[in-house]
């Protein structure tokens, strides 16, 4: 052992306890990379390195929590990271939960995975451990989009589904999403299932070593699962388009293109122009800082390609293809194109769904529910009212949206859209792309564009504008501090606009379950929602303003002016 220098300290009692935990972790870790990583941290901690000691504390003083979003975190060694030990324990805990609740024979799980680092090995570990515990485990045949896994839960009538993905998180993250079949109809888990699964995982971690967990034979699903998804999703288009929009497509270095290309072809759309640099899966995501179409710069290559070919639309999926971004030509934008907000896309798709629901009824009325999360545009409620549809505002996440009764369409502002509830009970960026391209094709037959249709929306339903402010933190306590301050010292105004009331959803509100959300009801029909992100170290504020008076231009100007004042005020409150 090397001698400590003047900058080091002797390991504390807490260090020695953590070192013992780390050494025990190393003995059960099947991954040589994370074993070596953790052994090096242990050695530096033993040498009195304070940075290594802090790193070890961060990894072992808490466990990556399993919740309604499953697991998500950085790939690294230790219980507070994503790794093969943690995933194996999660699979064994899920197996115990399914076996405990099974009343009609052997439970079953279908497992999918995307192109992120370690996704395939996490999926294989999960499948083998589930099988070893006595659960029928079915592994999708190769890396595929999250919507295909969500579809497979229902198509194969399994008890549950697992998708290994971190969606649009940074490159070194991965995650573990759990869906339930049966009476949950393929939706993601909600309480109390998350706590019950988490309790089983904790029990496994405390009593079993990963090498001692039995492993079993895994079934590999055949191509019929993907073929069925392609067929059902292509039906969303209804009929081959009479007019073809010129489209640029990017997969954002993810797994969307193979499946999307087959769906678009089956629906009768011409092949889009591709952003070649981003079309194939690449876990390093080399052309983007964050593989998320919402992030600044992420769509720059798409804009450049669209300018080259004069595209009518840009279609972008995130890496696991459960989200959709749309951009349209805009001469006022520096890039010549602008990305529509998630609310703009959601409202147009919601309007389309409402029209289809009315047409399907045959008597001019409509039946069904439009749903969106509480942080998404209130404009969807106005559409529902205009078409005599039911409307439901849910907590954030498609685990809630997908459970709205008699659902015909659901969305959330973070680029998530559920356009075909009979096929997938989760957000689906591929089926949403088909729906949006069908809308663009319908408009094109009468010489109209998406920009024209946005004007038509404002004429009928008013101008609804939205924006989002978020702060990314390295210390999660800062989020708690800001939320506590807003509760203890609620602002009387935001940007000079009077706050009529503040609704604290932490103890539940109406039919909503408790959630760490503050809703500011603002004078003039505006709104601000503040909540911590469920998947990233961010505090977010969602701002909405509306205007129903005057011309289209006047409505936009009035709503935008209110929104600008709200943005200024919230930045001051977050400072």
Walk along the chain (575 residues) in steps of 10 and give the mean pLDDT of each run.
54 94 97 98 95 96 90 97 98 98 92 98 98 98 98 98 95 97 94 96 97 98 97 88 95 98 96 98 96 94 98 98 98 96 98 91 74 96 97 94 97 96 96 97 96 98 94 88 94 95 92 91 94 85 96 97 96 89
pTM of the model: 0.93
286 shares a domain with 302: yes
Domain end, chosen from 410, 445, 461, is at 461
List residues with catalytic annotation. Answer: 167
179 shares a domain with 275: no
Residue among 349, 327, 329 at smallest CA distance from 339: 327
Both tokens of 521, joined, read 């009801």
**pLDDT at residue number 363:** 53
Residue among 368, 376, 380, 366 at smallest CA distance from 398: 376
405 shares a domain with 320: yes
483 shares a domain with 444: no
Both tokens of 479, joined, read 């989020």
Report how many domains make up the chain.
Answer: 3
Q: Is residue 48 assigned to a domain?
A: no
Residue among 414, 404, 400, 362 at smallest CA distance from 384: 404
Inter-CA distances, 19 with 49, 75, 220, 545, Å: 13, 20, 40, 53
**pLDDT at residue number 6:** 47
Residue 314 and residue 274: Cα distance in Å, rounded? 10
**pLDDT at residue number 1:** 45
Tokens 């106005």 sit on residue:
382
Q: Is residue 29 assigned to a domain?
A: no
Q: What is the CATH number of the domain that holds 487?
A: 3.30.310.50
- Please check whether residue 547 is in contact with residue 563, taking contact to mean a CB–CB distance below 8 angstroms: no
**pLDDT at residue number 7:** 53
104 is in which domain, residue-wise?
A: 62-222
243 shares a domain with 362: yes
305 shares a domain with 244: yes
Q: Is residue 23 assigned to a domain?
A: no
């Amino acid at each position: 052992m090397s001698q400590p220098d003047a900058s080091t300290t002797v390991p504390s009692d807490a260090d020695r306890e953590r070192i013992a935990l780390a050494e025990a972790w190393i003995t059960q870790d099947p991954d040589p990379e994370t074993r070596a990583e953790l052994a090096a941290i242990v050695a530096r901690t033993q040498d009195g390195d304070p940075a290594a000691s802090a790193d070890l504390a961060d990894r072992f003083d808490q466990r990556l929590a399993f919740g309604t979003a499953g697991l998500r975190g950085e790939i690294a060694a230790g219980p507070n990271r994503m790794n093969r030990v943690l995933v194996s324990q999660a699979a064994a805990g899920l197996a115990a939960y399914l076996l405990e609740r099974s009343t009609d024979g052997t439970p079953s799980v279908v497992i999918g995975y995307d192109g992120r680092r370690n996704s395939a090995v996490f999926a294989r570990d999960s499948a083998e451990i589930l099988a070893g515990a006595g659960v029928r485990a079915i592994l999708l045949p190769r890396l595929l989009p999250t919507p295909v896994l969500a579809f497979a839960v229902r198509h194969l009538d399994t008890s549950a589904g697992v998708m290994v993905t971190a969606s649009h998180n940074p490159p070194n993250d991965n995650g573990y999403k759990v869906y339930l079949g049966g009476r949950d109809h393929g939706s993601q888990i909600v309480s109390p299932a998350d706590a019950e699964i988490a309790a089983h995982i904790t029990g496994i971690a405390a009593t079993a070593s990963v090498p001692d967990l039995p492993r079993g034979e895994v079934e590999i699903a055949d191509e019929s699962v993907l073929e069925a998804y392609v067929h059902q999703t292509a039906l969303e288009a209804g009929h081959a388009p009479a007019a073809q929009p010129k489209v640029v497509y990017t997969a954002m270095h993810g797994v969307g293109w193979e499946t999307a290309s087959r769906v678009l072809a089956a629906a009768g759309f011409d092949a889009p122009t591709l952003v070649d640099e981003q079309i194939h899966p690449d876990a390093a995501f080399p052309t983007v800082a964050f593989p998320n179409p919402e992030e600044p710069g992420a769509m720059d290559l798409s804009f450049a390609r669209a300018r080259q070919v004069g595209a009518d639309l840009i279609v972008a999926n995130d890496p696991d293809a459960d989200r959709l971004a749309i951009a349209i030509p805009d001469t006022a934008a520096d890039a010549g194109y602008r990305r529509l907000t998630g609310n703009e896309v959601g409202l147009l798709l919601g309007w389309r769904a409402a029209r289809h629901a009315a047409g399907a009824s045959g008597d001019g009325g409509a039946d069904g529910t439009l749903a969106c999360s509480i942080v998404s545009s209130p404009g969807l409620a106005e559409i529902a009212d205009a078409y005599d549809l039911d409307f439901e505002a849910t907590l954030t996440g498609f685990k809630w949206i997908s459970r709205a009764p008699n659902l015909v369409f659901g969305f959330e502002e973070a680029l998530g859209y559920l356009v075909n509830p009979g096929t997938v009970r989760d957000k689906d960026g591929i089926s949403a792309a088909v729906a949006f391209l069908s809308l663009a094709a319908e408009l094109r037959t009468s010489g109209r564009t998406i920009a024209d249709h946005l004007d038509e929306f404002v004429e009928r339903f008013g101008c609804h504008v939205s924006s989002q402010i978020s702060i990314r933190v390295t210390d999660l306590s800062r989020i708690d501090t800001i939320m506590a301050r807003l509760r203890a010292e609620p602002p009387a105004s935001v940007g000079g606009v009077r706050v009529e009331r503040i609704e604290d959803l932490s103890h539940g509100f109406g039919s909503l379950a408790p959630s760490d959300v503050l809703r500011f009801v603002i004078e003039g029909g505006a709104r601000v929602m503040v909540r911590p992100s469920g998947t990233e170290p961010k505090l977010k504020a969602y701002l909405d303003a509306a205007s129903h008076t005057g011309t289209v231009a006047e409505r936009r100007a009035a709503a935008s002016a209110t929104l600008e004042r709200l943005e200024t005020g919230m930045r001051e409150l977050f400072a």
